[in-house]
Amino acid sequence: MSVVLLGYHNMGCRALKVLRELEIEVPAVFTHRDSENENVWFDSLADLAASYSIPCYFPDDINQKKWIDLIRSMEPDVILSCYFRQMIKQDILDSPRVAAVNLHGSLLPKYRGRCPVNWQLVFGEKKSGVTLHHMVLKADAGDIVGQKEVVVEPRDTALTLFRKLEDAADHVLRTYIPMLLDGTAPRIVQDHSKATYFGGRRPEDGRIDWTWDAQRIYNLIRAVAWPYPGAFTMNGTEKLYVWDGVPVMDKEMGIPAGSVKLEEGIPWVQTGKGCLKILSASTEPRPDPEQSIPKDLFKDGMILG
């Protein structure tokens, strides 16, 4: 039995480790080259494949004929996609003997599309999970093979939630890949009436709107906290990154939204409803390793916007 892996990021690495531990043949790995414009904080699937002496390819467009022909020549039983960043067309979907499946970082049909971990935190979800599903031409719309739910804690960030989803993915892959290969896997049609879809996020989407309530602002902060690009605000022409905070919905300071007040040296910001206690901030696009808030970064009466 063989599985061709299309993957990237830690999820792709976790998938390859699981396949090897299950003693499933992996004739090839298809992945991406790291971008100079991206903070590459995650593990390298290419390096992991090399450690197993598995051929690794870096297609600019996996749907080109040469890649289709190569995959077909391998006669895989399953094609598994884990955080691969290209849409897969029908010629490849039809190539495996059993199935072409994808691992997605949400409980489908909710949060189809890009950046599901970040979007789920933006909207304050209290549960998340991963879904293994059959691939079809429409993104994340295929029949579900299996899911694993995780709890989103109030202090979870994108990174801590991602770690939980890695463990959930490990469970799902160990459970359902063998079932796919022996023909016993479930196949459940998604309820498309409950589907939600979200696109990619840009660094500029992290700008804080202080007229929002404190909880909504905190949800944005934790959704894009380091190693993601970060939530930010402006002090005049200076950009300030806010990496952590505590929303207090029943606290009001009687000052305009975006106004700063220091209490025992700790900055509080009035929001549209409630206040945000800032725990970590910097002028650089990453947290300061020496101090959570550099001295004199915030002053009484400062107006953020």
pLDDT in tens, 51-86: 999 999 999 999 999 999 999 999 999 999 999 999
CATH of the domain at 7: 3.40.50.170
226 contacts: CB under 8 Å, gap ≥ 6: 159, 243, 286, 287
- Say yes or no: 188 and 247 in one domain: no
- Say yes or no: 146 and 7 in one domain: yes
pLDDT for position 71: 98
> Any idea how long the chain is?
305
Return d(Cα 142, Cα 103) in angstroms, integer: 11
pLDDT for position 38: 82
pLDDT for position 156: 99
- Does 239 map to a domain? yes
* 157-180 residue pLDDT tens: 999 999 999 999 999 999 999 999
Reply yes or no on whether the pLDDT at 188 is more than 90: yes
* 258-267 residue pLDDT tens: 999 999 999 9
* 215-256 residue pLDDT tens: 999 999 999 999 999 999 999 999 999 999 999 999 999 999
Task: Show which of 197, 214, 238 is a domain's final residue.
Answer: 197
- Say yes or no: 41 and 176 in one domain: yes
Return d(Cα 226, Cα 157) in angstroms, integer: 9
Task: Show which of 163, 197, 231 is a domain's final residue.
Answer: 197
* 271-284 residue pLDDT tens: 999 999 999 999 99
CATH of the domain at 240: 3.10.25.10
- Say yes or no: 75 and 220 in one domain: no
Reply yes or no on whether the pLDDT at 290 is more than 90: no
Q: Which burial class, exposed, middle or buried, applies to 40 when counting CB atoms under 10 A from its CB (0-12, 13-18, 19+)?
A: exposed
90 contacts: CB under 8 Å, gap ≥ 6: 137
- Does 293 map to a domain? no
Under a CB-based contact definition with an 8 Å cutoff, are residues 293 and 278 in contact? yes
pLDDT for position 80: 99
Q: Tell me the pLDDT band of 127, cut-offs 50, 70 and 90.
A: very high
Under a CB-based contact definition with an 8 Å cutoff, are residues 137 and 110 in contact? no
Which amino acid is located at 94 in the chain? D
pLDDT for position 211: 99
131 contacts: CB under 8 Å, gap ≥ 6: 103, 104, 106, 107, 108, 140, 144, 146, 147, 172
- Say yes or no: 274 and 140 in one domain: no
- Say yes or no: 62 and 147 in one domain: yes
- Say yes or no: 173 and 236 in one domain: no
pLDDT for position 289: 85
- Say yes or no: 162 and 88 in one domain: yes
- Does 136 map to a domain? yes
Mean pLDDT of the chain: 97
Reply yes or no on whether the pLDDT at 148 is more than 90: yes
201-228 exposure pattern, b = at least 16 Cβ within 10 A, e = fewer: beeeebebebebbbbbbbbbbbbbbbbb
φ, ψ for residue 19, nearest 5 deg: -60, -40
Q: Tell me the pLDDT band of 36, cut-offs 50, 70 and 90.
A: confident
Domain of residue 73, residue span: 3-197
- Does 61 map to a domain? yes
Task: Show which of 197, 224, 256 is a domain's final residue.
Answer: 197
- Say yes or no: 186 and 122 in one domain: yes
- Say yes or no: 137 and 260 in one domain: no
- Does 300 map to a domain? no
pLDDT for position 29: 99
- Say yes or no: 209 and 182 in one domain: no
- Say yes or no: 162 and 233 in one domain: no
Average pLDDT score over residue span 99-103: 99
Return d(Cα 196, Cα 104) in angstroms, integer: 14
Give the start-end residues of each E strand in the chain.
Answer: 3-7, 29-30, 56-57, 78-82, 99-104, 112-113, 127-134, 144-151, 197-198, 231-235, 238-248, 260-263, 266-270, 275-282
Return d(Cα 23, Cα 1) in angstroms, integer: 9
pLDDT for position 97: 98
Share of the chain above pLDDT 90, in %: 94
The total number of structural domains in the chain stands at 2
- Does 294 map to a domain? no
- Does 12 map to a domain? yes
- Does 104 map to a domain? yes
Return d(Cα 300, Cα 54) in angstroms, integer: 59
